[in-house]
Amino acid sequence: MLDNFKLETTTIWSFKDRGNYYTHKGDYPGNWSPYVPRNIILRYSKENDVVLDQFAGSGTTLIECRLLNRIGVGCDVNEVALKMAWERTKCIQSKSKTILLKRDARNLYDIKDSSIDLICTHPPYSNAIKYSEDIEEDISLLEYDKFLNEIVKVASECYRVLKKGKYCALLIGDIRKNGYIKPLGYETLNKFLNQSFKLKEIIIKEQHNCRKTEYWKEISIKNNFYLIAHEYLFVFQK
């Protein structure tokens, strides 16, 4: 599949295939297609750069970092995710190392100021998918307003650890509650702009293969709303 890989050139991205190459499996809830971090890493970093994913999940970004010879730093608050990321990265030959840390994205205390060359990350979408039952630091357990308050801290840490002039790419989507849209993407964008980031790109990513699409299709027709089928990939520059 990778033989056909081409870098994206427009602000609309759509990856129908889940990218099951190397150790990518697409089985972690809400994982992102590896073609997203691959595009970001290739466009905004070079070999041996340090790439941070502070919502690492199953390690999709870190696998790409190994394949592309970038030093990958992955953080998550969930040990199940960290173990999965470790299993999926350890067997891939690379010129660059991978560092996995149990850390809260709101407080990356041992990552130095202006030390990261690229941030490429994919937080939870408020509580659309809950990643744990009771991990205190898990922001996927938070309702919309509380979640947005915590995203301010995430944005602040992103700004602090990134080198000047470098890029932070973040994928996020809107959610629907009781039939109405909660504009999580738009609100998150504003929180990042309040940190003095410059907005380099807004990329619309089409969503495919969502687990509950069939279930929601019927409900959406009955209740007269459209299924959300896109996410936003924001690219910020410090």
Ligand X SMILES: C[S@@+](CC[C@H](N)C(=O)[O-])C[C@H]1O[C@@H](n2cnc3c(N)ncnc32)[C@H](O)[C@@H]1O
Instruction: Give the Cα-Cα-Cα angle 27, 230, 160 (nearest 5 degrees).
Output: 80
Q: Shortest approach of ligand X to residue 94 CB, angstroms?
A: 18
Choose one: 76-84, 87-95, 156-164, 175-183; the region binding ligand X (CB under 6 A). 76-84
Residue nearer to ligand X on the CB measure, 123 or 185: 123
The pair of structure tokens assigned to 207 is 């969503």
The 85-124 site mask, x for binding ligand X (CB under 6 A), equals -------------------xxx---------------xxx
Nearest to residue 60, comparing CAs of 106, 97, 22?
Answer: 22
Would you say 191 and 152 are in contact if contact means Cβ atoms under 8 Å apart? yes
Residue nearer to ligand X on the CB measure, 45 or 60: 60
The pair of structure tokens assigned to 40 is 């970001």
> Is there binding between residue 131 and ligand X (CB under 6 A)?
yes
Residue 93 burial (CB < 10 Å; 0-12/13-18/19+)? exposed
Determine the residue with CB nearest ligand X: 57
User: Could you give phi then psi for residue 141, rounded to 5 degrees?
Assistant: -95, 0
User: Could you give phi then psi for residue 179, rounded to 5 degrees?
Assistant: 90, -10
Choose one: 2-10, 74-82, 175-183, 224-232; the region binding ligand X (CB under 6 A). 74-82
Please count the residues of the chain: 238
Q: Shortest approach of ligand X to residue 175 CB, angstroms?
A: 13
Residue selected from 45, 140, 185, 234 as contacting ligand X according to rule CB under 6 A: 140
Residue nearer to ligand X on the CB measure, 22 or 225: 22
Residue nearer to ligand X on the CB measure, 81 or 155: 81
List Cβ neighbours of 214 (8 Å cut-off, separation of 6 or more).
none
Sites of contact with ligand X (CB under 6 A)? 28, 30-32, 54-55, 57-58, 60, 75-78, 81, 104-106, 122-124, 131, 137-140
